[in-house]
A and B are shown apart, each in its own frame.
Chain A
Amino acid sequence: MTATSIIGTAIARTDSAEKVHGQTRYAADLTAPGLLHARLTTAYQAHANITNIDTSAALKVPGVKAIYTGKDLLPDGPEPASRPMAMLARDKVVFYGQPVAIVLGETEEAAEEAAGLIQVDYEPLGVNVDPIASTGKDATPIRSRDIDAGEGEGEAHATVSGGAEMDVSDLGPNVTDAVAFKRGDVEKGFSEADVIVERTYRSHSVHQGYIEPQAMMVVPDPVGHLTIYTPTQGQFFVRNMVANALGLEHNDITVVPMEVGGGFGGKTCLLQPLVAATAKRVKLPVKLVLSRMEEFLLTTPAPGTVIEIKSGAKKDGTITAIRVRGVFDSGAYPASPTNVATLISGGYYRCANLDLEGVEVITNKPGVGAYRAPGSPQATFAIDQNIDEMARKLEWDPLEFRIHNISVEGDPQPNEEPWPAIGAKEVLEALRTHPLYTNKPTGPGEGIGIAVGGWPGGVEPCAAHLRLNTDGTVNLSLGSMDISGTNTTMAMIAADTFGVPMDQIRLTTANTDSAPYAGMSGGSKVTYTMGIAVQAAAEEARQQVMAIASAELEASPDDLEMIDGVVQVKGSPDASLTLSQIATMSMSFGGKYIPVSGNGKSAVQDKAPGFSAQLAHVHVDEDTGEVELKHLVVAQDVGKALNPAMVEGQIMGGAVQGVGWGLYEGLIYDDNGQPLNPNLMDYTLPKLDQTPTLEIILVEKTSKAGPYGAKGVGEPPVVPTAAAIANAISDATNGARVSEIPMTSQIVLEAIQKRDS
């Protein structure tokens, strides 16, 4: 232990210096000798057979080195139903913007020009845009259903055991998955209810909106080994996907994880196999950096949803039944978080009768991927607006109604697993005494709204390595990517456990050749699981230090203490050794001790779902439908805030993404499947003057397994925001219910008109 533990204190990110100097290297900044620049030719049809590709004009552009099409990269067999594996469309395109060819040029300009000269002929097929219509039996099939896409990326971020898989064979050809959670008898529950609330809630696909576009550089060496430089949340995932796509072994590939300029679930593995395949063929380094339009056209946004909820409750406040019918628009590849979202949509509150069904449908849009708490913001927008409406109809206070019904430890989730020690009730109770709640704003157009939401939390085994150097400094080597300040927290944990000042520790995010294993940085699990591994690595190294000191100082390890990098016999500062002396004895010619080197591993099984309750204050102009979000209070159970600066930063960022879900963001497609707003002019990311002042309340209900009792923090803050805003709008407008996000002024105005009719 250091003299005073730094755990729980606010410490700035350890990479602050390089970042304020503009010295952090991102993948787009890299270059290599002989580098070729890649540009993509993308489809301008959303569903069509490719009849011909003519590259002759493009090949004549000076500086063009090579052009590849789907037939070049994957000549035989069915086209894979996994986005990264499919690389380029070969026989047909399934969404507007799908890559059909890749050009490698000596300059980006040459490649760009040539990409525009590639002539692709199409035979159009029926386009599926609307998710409900796409579930129909007469919808144009996008692909044969028996091609397995593997595990959906959206699902990979949460660890929930599933509901019953439903048979989809008698559903339409584009229905790719269906799950159900059933309990009791909902019809009986509805017959016992005094009030029924039935409504359909819609959301559109939204983009993760990271400011750094996706980028990658692949450098082949003369014997065929590939080194891939790319920002990714999961370097081992990229390595394995590229190996699978190219038929290589895992150790034929080194992934060097670059700084992630925002990920939020969207930077995993997408185009790396394609670029790796081309670099391997031309035997030269190849770099691809996406444009912002390509980001919107062809990466992996979050799914749009249509969620129908019917709920019933009695005047005494008992919720008697919840029925959910969810449709999740997965885009052209099955990867939506159907399981989690269906569970969440009926899982926060105690209820004896549940009938929850979720259906995944593929459409001719870009295949979806993970985005912060996949599925949860959409599901929560539905359920927590429905519950709010229920409370008001029953003439219960909406906060008290929630507190009365919210699940606590031991209550069953829809999959019948008991909820662990969740803080859902505590975060709601934290809002009870807030002045905005006790002294509600009055006046025309003023309103407040509450919502609660959570995230089941992910777990995955991981490992960490800590090594002492002969000058007394420490190297901590991890395979987890820092997407949220976790490296700073890991250094704090290592310093606290090992017993050195934090500035003695250098943390390296090592590459796939040298890093101890870590899974994807996602699912709110890095601190929760890696923190344990770092503690174990630091503790093992500390014990080695103590063993050496014990032998050298001729004292029992129990009589030794380490303070700020000096080991001494308790109470006898004269009998002491510095870490540098100890390390030198273990790492020098003829030395007699094993090198101080600690390995820590964790395979946490207990999950620690995180919950956030939010209180929104809005002003609604009933003439225009315009909503001003004036203030947002966010109470979140974080278990234990190891570094409150990082924790609050995560929560604020997540909540403002929730504001984006609620008020601004949505990808719009026309009937031909062409996106109408694939740029930052027409797709609105929340700006500084469009975001409210935020107030964060940290609730600390410790977890059983996390380091120091910490829980995952990243996901929960985005979850209830849209619902809280919708509930505030209803409060401000005397009951207008906005059932679609983003709640643009037009949609709010329609809700106000519907209220009046």
Chain B
Amino acid sequence: MKHEITVTVNGTKHTAEVESRALLVHFIRDVLNLTGTHIGCDTSQCGACTLLLNGQAVKSCTILAAQVDGKEITTIEGLATDGNLHPVQEGFWQEHGLQCGFCTPGMIMSSVDLLGRIPNPDEQQIRHNLEGNLCRCTGYQNIVKSVQFASKKMSGAAGDD
């Protein structure tokens, strides 16, 4: 069975017909060609497919495309605005929070969500809130530093640092 959905992705409205069983991650990758959202496992453990749905981080392999009708999605490709990096992107770059880069988009989207909820997380909060995203290259320490970098920068911009 097919469903017609209208969804805003990275600020652009798309209308499409999707199969009932189609996962959001396949819609994003195969229909919209936004391949920065990755697939790393079949069981929602790795978090490589994480994106923002109405501002909240979700694993797009656990959501059906048919469920996102009328909603707003931000993927890694839409995070920078007007060519300016999001502070989390800057953090992963400056603090060497990435190596092979495969987990990076999902890790960044989860971090954006985290800093929206907890602007100044301590190390334990960062580790706890990002435990749904796996990275095999970095040993995580520089990812923690990347989030701390962004947190500092974002609170600085808000004038309370």
Contacts and interface: CB of A to CB of B under 8 A. Distances in A.
A binds B: yes
Task: Specify which of A19, A485, A653, A691 lies most central, judged by the most chain B CB atoms within 10 Å of its CB.
Answer: A19
B101 A12 contact: no
Given A652-B138, A688-B140, A688-B143, A213 B128 contact: no
A12 B98 CA distance: 10
A22 B136 contact: no
B102 to A, nearest CB: 3
B98 to A, nearest CB: 5
Contact of B89 (A12, A21, A264, A484): A21
Nearest to B142: A649
B85 A688 contact: no
Interface stretch (A131-139, A255-263, A525-533, A612-620): A255-263
Interface string A527-552: 00000000000000000000000000
B102 A212 contact: yes
A613 B56 CA distance: 42
Nearest to A260: B100
A680 B142 CA distance: 23
A13 B85 contact: no
A483 B99 CA distance: 8
A332 to B, nearest CB: 24
B66 interface: no
B45 A211 contact: no
Interface string B1-38: 00000000000000000000000000001000011111
B48 A16 contact: no
Contacts of A260: 100
A442 interface: no
Nearest to A30: B35
Task: Specify which of A12, A261, A657 lies most central, judged by the most chain B CB atoms within 10 Å of its CB.
Answer: A261
Given A20-B92, A211-B103, A652 B141 contact: yes
A723 interface: no
A259 B100 contact: yes
Task: Specify which of A263, A484, A654, A688 lies most central, judged by the most chain B CB atoms within 10 Å of its CB.
Answer: A688
B54 to A, nearest CB: 20
B81 interface: no
Given A212-B102, A484-B99, A649-B96, A22 B75 contact: yes
A527 B81 CA distance: 37
Given A262-B136, A681-B43, A16 B142 contact: no
A693 B122 CA distance: 13
Contact of B36 (A12, A23, A646, A649): A23
A26 B137 CA distance: 16
A24 B101 contact: yes
A292 B142 contact: no
Task: Specify which of B38, B48, B93, B136 lies most central, judged by the most chain A CB atoms within 10 Å of its CB.
Answer: B136
Nearest to A292: B41
Given A12-B93, A680-B43, A209 B105 contact: no
Task: Specify which of B75, B135, B140 lies most central, judged by the most chain A CB atoms within 10 Å of its CB.
Answer: B140
A26 B96 CA distance: 20
A642 to B, nearest CB: 15
Interface in B114-161: 123-124, 126-128, 130-144
Given A19-B104, A292-B43, A688 B130 contact: yes
Contacts of A142: none
B67 interface: no
Interface in A233-289: 259-264, 289
B39 interface: yes
Interface of A: 10, 12-13, 15-26, 28-29, 208-213, 259-264, 289, 291-293, 483-485, 645-646, 648-649, 652-657, 679-681, 685, 687-691, 693-694
11 contacts: A22-B105, A211-B100, A212-B100, A212-B102, A262-B137, A485-B99, A679-B42, A680-B45, A680-B46, A688-B143, A694-B139
Given A26-B102, A681-B45, 18 more contacts: A10-B96, A13-B99, A20-B76, A20-B98, A24-B101, A211-B48, A211-B102, A211-B136, A260-B100, A261-B38, A261-B102, A262-B137, A648-B96, A656-B140, A657-B139, A681-B43, A687-B132, A688-B140
